[in-house]
């Protein structure tokens, strides 16, 4: 039974009925693992959520004052941020998640077995490698957007249970700044952490910058 099964659909309240049905549909399509950033029915919601967390973090630091954020189509990038001074900033969103762990969860679900509580094993080294792979891949993809934005940012989101702020910082510090051609900045954004410093992370999601360098 899911947490939404005991929610009553009230025919007299169309809005609430729609919300509950969306929750149920999304849960049925969910991969069941590392799902804080997941919205199976509409991935664009995750892109907007990630961009919102990133821009709130930067605004808190006084670095990037937001006016509006909106989906950018056709991508890349995924999201367009318009600043108060009228500058256009592109934000590309991607995810760090273990495909093998997802496969285990989905396999157990299909076979009617209990969902396994085993998590992907991450180390600072493996995290650093995964981050560099995503930065390089997205930097190449953003060649299409080069020259159209004042800045191009990359948001790498993750809800991997093993990856907390401490291990993420160790991973980021392992390697020198990554060489890129089109990206201006890149960030690793963790899922909600109750212990996160609110004055630093206004949404409760730690945001860690990944050092980059240009040729």
| pLDDT tens sequence across 10-22 | 444 455 455 444 4
**Residue position matching structure tokens 């206004």:** 202
pLDDT at 65 over 50: yes
CA-CA distances (angstroms) from residue 104 to 6, 90, 108, 117?
A: 27, 35, 6, 10
Same structural domain for residues 158 and 57?
Answer: yes
Q: Is the dihedral of CA 128, 131, 133, 135 positive or negative?
A: negative
Same structural domain for residues 22 and 72?
Answer: no
Q: Comparing 175 with 33, which gets the higher pLDDT?
A: 175
How sure is the predictor about 30, in pLDDT bands with cuts at 50, 70 and 90?
A: low
Beta-strand runs (E) in 32-118: 66-71, 79-83, 88-95
Strands 79-83 and 88-95: antiparallel
pLDDT digits (tens, 9 = 90+) for 107-138: 766 666 666 566 788 999 999 999 999 999 99
**pTM of the predicted structure, to 2 decimals:** 0.82
Same structural domain for residues 100 and 188?
Answer: yes
Same structural domain for residues 19 and 44?
Answer: no
As for how many domains the chain has, the answer is 2
pLDDT at 40 over 70: no
Same structural domain for residues 85 and 100?
Answer: yes
Same structural domain for residues 203 and 131?
Answer: yes
Same structural domain for residues 6 and 76?
Answer: no
Same structural domain for residues 42 and 19?
Answer: no
Same structural domain for residues 188 and 116?
Answer: yes
| Strand arrangement of the beta sheet that strand 79-83 belongs to | 66-71, 79-83, 88-95, 151-158, 185-190, 207-210
Same structural domain for residues 101 and 177?
Answer: yes
Same structural domain for residues 22 and 121?
Answer: no
Q: Which two structure tokens, joined as six digits, stand for 79?
A: 């999201």
Q: Comparing 38 with 145, which gets the higher pLDDT?
A: 145
pLDDT digits (tens, 9 = 90+) for 71-112: 999 999 999 999 989 999 999 999 998 887 777 776 766 666
Helix and strand numbers, DSSP H then E, in the chain: 5, 8
Same structural domain for residues 10 and 47?
Answer: no
Structural domain including 13 reads 1-30
């Amino acid at each position: 039974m899911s947490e939404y099964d005991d929610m009553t659909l009230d025919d007299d309240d169309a809005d609430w009925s729609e919300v509950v049905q969306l929750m149920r549909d999304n849960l049925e399509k969910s991969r069941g693992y590392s799902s804080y950033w997941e919205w199976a029915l509409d991935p664009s919601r995750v892109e907007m959520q990630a961009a919102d967390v990133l821009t709130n973090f930067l605004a808190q630091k006084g670095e990037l004052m937001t006016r509006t954020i909106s989906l950018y189509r056709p991508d890349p990038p995924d999201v367009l941020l318009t600043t108060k001074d009228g500058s256009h900033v592109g934000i590309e969103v991607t995810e760090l998640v273990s495909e093998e762990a997802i496969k285990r969860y989905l396999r157990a679900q299909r076979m009617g077995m209990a969902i396994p509580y085993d998590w992907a094993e991450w180390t600072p080294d493996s995290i650093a490698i995964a981050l560099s792979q995503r930065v390089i891949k997205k930097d190449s993809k953003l060649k299409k957007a080069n020259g159209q934005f004042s800045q191009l940012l990359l948001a790498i989101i993750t809800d991997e249970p093993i990856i907390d702020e401490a291990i993420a910082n160790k991973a980021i510090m392992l390697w020198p700044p990554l060489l890129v051609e089109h990206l201006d900045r890149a960030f690793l954004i963790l899922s909600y952490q109750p212990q996160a410093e609110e004055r630093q992370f206004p949404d409760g999601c730690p945001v860690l910058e990944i050092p980059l360098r240009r040729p």
